[in-house]
Amino acid sequence: MTTFLDALTWIADPANWGGAQGISARLLQHLAVTLVAVLAASALAIPLGILIGHTRRGRGVVVALAGAVRAIPTLGLLTLLALLLGVGVEAPLLALVALAVPSVLAGAYAGIESAEPAAVDAARAMGMSELQIVRNVELPLGAGVLVGGLRAATLQVVATATLAAYTSDTGLGRYLFIGLKARDYPQMLAGAILVAVLALLLDRLLATAQDRASRLAHSTEGTP
């Protein structure tokens, strides 16, 4: 209990917030890394997912590939890339993108696929182009699932960005490793609490977005 209080005291101490090594800087860094990784993964995976979901081709390959990527230990990818690319932020960023891609991809194609074939068929019969079908029918109907994929990817990236501090001086995870090395349990715990809170906040935020996106599908239902 005392350790817990010590950790909270450590977080509450204004001295730990300022400067390049301070909580605010590291928090922003953690957020920025997460955001960049998820955005980059989305830029790659959402178009691909839409293509797979719409054409219903190549899903088997993607599922197998995503399964294999999920089996890769994240720490392994981080350390491997760090050895190959050095201790900068590039190595963890690359690892984070690689790890986020399968979740985003799965969300995108599952979302597009979740559109009822009858609705898609009707849209085509009405004379919509394939692009219009994607934009007006499949995307609104699958938006909830797609955002769900982004949510899963974000959680994965926030967690892994914490591990990234093992190989590179990035983000909130650094407090964990400094604390671990110096046997400074309060600092380690403070880092853990900060990361956990950040992850929970982002998860809630994206859960809300997912709800909104799902409602999009329901408001579209029934309208041609």
Positions touching other proteins (CB under 8 A) are 3-4, 59-60, 63-64, 67-68, 70-77, 79-80, 82-84, 110, 155, 158-159, 162-163, 166-167, 173, 176-177, 180, 188-189, 191-193, 195-196, 199-200, 203, 207
In the complex, least distance from residue 122 CB atom to other proteins, rounded to whole angstroms: 23
Instruction: Report d(CA 11, CA 99) in Å as an integer.
Output: 30
By beta-carbon proximity to other proteins, the closer residue of 110 and 213 is: 110
**Is residue 203 within 8 Å of 155, Cβ to Cβ?**
yes
CA 104 and chain centroid, separation: 8
Give me the least distance between CB of 80 and other proteins, in Å please.
5
**Where does the chain have alpha helices with state H?**
2-12, 23-55, 59-71, 74-85, 90-113, 117-126, 130-133, 139-164, 173-182, 185-220
Shortest reach from residue 191's CB to other proteins, in Å: 7
C-beta closer to other proteins: residue 54 or 124: 54
The nearer residue to other proteins, 192 or 209, going by C-beta atoms, is 192
**What does the block give as tokens for 22?**
């301070």
Rounded CA-CA distance 51/63 in Å is: 14
The distance of closest approach from Cβ of residue 222 to other proteins in the complex, given in angstroms and rounded to an integer, is: 26
| Structure tokens that stand for 152 in this block | 């899963």
Closest C-alpha to 163, from 84, 70, 95: 95
User: Smallest gap, in angstroms, from Cβ of residue 99 to other proteins?
Assistant: 10
Q: Judged by CB, which is closer to other proteins: 5, or 126?
A: 5
With respect to other proteins, which residue has the nearer C-beta, 83 or 126? 83
